[in-house]
Amino acid sequence: MNNFIASNVELGNDVIIDPPSILGKAPRGAREGELQLTIGRNSHIRPFSTLYAGSSMGDYFQTGQGVSVREDNVIGNNVSIGTNSVLEFGNRIGDFSRIHSNCFMEMVTIGRYVFVGPNVVFTDDPHPMGCPKYQECKGGAVVEDYVRIGAHSTILPGVRIGRNSLIGAGSVVVKDVPPDSVVAGNPAKVIKKIDELVCFKGFFDKPYTWPPYEEMMK
C-alpha cells in the first residue's frame, strides 16, 4: 500500500507520512492541482488519513489513523487530530490545541491550548436537511483559549464558549458559556467557577495550576 501525494502538496522538513494516506485530494468543484495543501515541518500523518487540498497545517501537526480534513481548514502549530476524527470545511484551530478521537466539526473556531475530548460533536446547522442558507445562519461554535471540553459533549451552532472554561463530559451546550466557568448537563448549565475546583487526589491545591499552565495564562 502506497501514499498518494498530489503535485500541489507543500511539505515542510522531516514530515512523516504513514501509508496508505492521501494528501492533496481535490475538493468537490475544484480541479486537481488548483488548490494547495500545506503541511509544516516535523509533522506526522498516520495511516488512512485523507487531507484535502485547500487547507494548511502548521509545524508539528499530527493525525491519528483514519483522519479526514476537508478543504478550507487552517490549523496552527503543535496541533493533533485524533483517530477517526472528521474536520469538514471552514474550521480554524489555534496553536497547541488537541482534538481527540472520533470528533466532528464544521465551521468551528478553536483557540489556543484547547482540549476537545473524544466523541465531541460540533453542530453547525440549526435546521438539518439542507437549508440553503445554513452557512449564513448561526454557523459553527467559537471556542476561546484554554477551554476543556469533556468526552461525548455536543456543542450547538453559534455557541461561544468563554476563555478558560470546562465543559463536563456528556454535556449539551445550547447557549454561550461565560469565561472561567464549569458547565455540565443537558442542557448545560453553570455549576461553579473554575477557581472553585479542587484536586480530588490532593496532588495540587487546585486543578490547572501546574506549569506551564500558569505561564500560558499570563
- For 46-50, 123-127, 138-142, 159-163, which range has the lowest pLDDT when averaged over its residues? 123-127
pLDDT tens figures, 1-40: 799 999 999 999 999 999 999 999 999 989 888 999 999 9
Query: What pLDDT does 156 receive?
Result: 96
Query: Coil, helix or strand for 135?
Result: helix
User: Which of 155-160's residues contact partners 24+ apart within 8 Å by CB, and which partners?
Assistant: 155/108, 155/120, 155/121, 155/122, 155/123, 156/123, 156/126, 157/123, 157/124, 157/125, 157/126, 158/126
User: Which pLDDT value is given to residue 212?
Assistant: 56
Confidence of residue 201 (pLDDT cuts 50, 70, 90): confident
- The dihedral sign for the CA sequence 151, 157, 159, 163: positive
| CATH code, 4-127+137-216 | 2.160.10.10
**Separation between Cα atoms, residue 150 and residue 110, nearest integer Å:** 15
pTM: 0.92
DSSP codes joined into one string, 42-69: T-EEPTT-EEETT-EE-TT-EE-TT-EE
In the chain, where are the structural domains located? 4-127+137-216
Checking if the pLDDT of 216 tops 70, the result is no
Q: How confident is the model at residue 178 (pLDDT cuts 50, 70, 90)?
A: very high
What residue has cell string 446547522?
125
- Catalytic residue positions? 127
> Half-sphere exposure of 9 toward its Cβ, with a 13 Å CA cutoff?
23
Cα distance between residue 76 and residue 25, in whole Å? 20
The angle subtended at Cα 132 by Cα 129 and Cα 138, nearest 5°, is 85
Query: What are the tens digits of pLDDT across the range 110-148?
Result: 999 999 999 999 998 777 776 777 667 768 999 999 999
Rounded to the nearest integer, the mean pLDDT of the chain is 92
Classified as helix, coil or strand, 194 is helix
pLDDT of residue 189: 98
**Buried residues in 187-214 as b, exposed as e (16+ CB within 10 A):** ebeeeeebeeeeeeeeeeeebbeeeeee
Mean pLDDT to the nearest integer, 76-102: 98
Question: Facing residues of 182 across strands?
Answer: 166, 192
Q: Is residue 215's pLDDT more than 60?
A: no
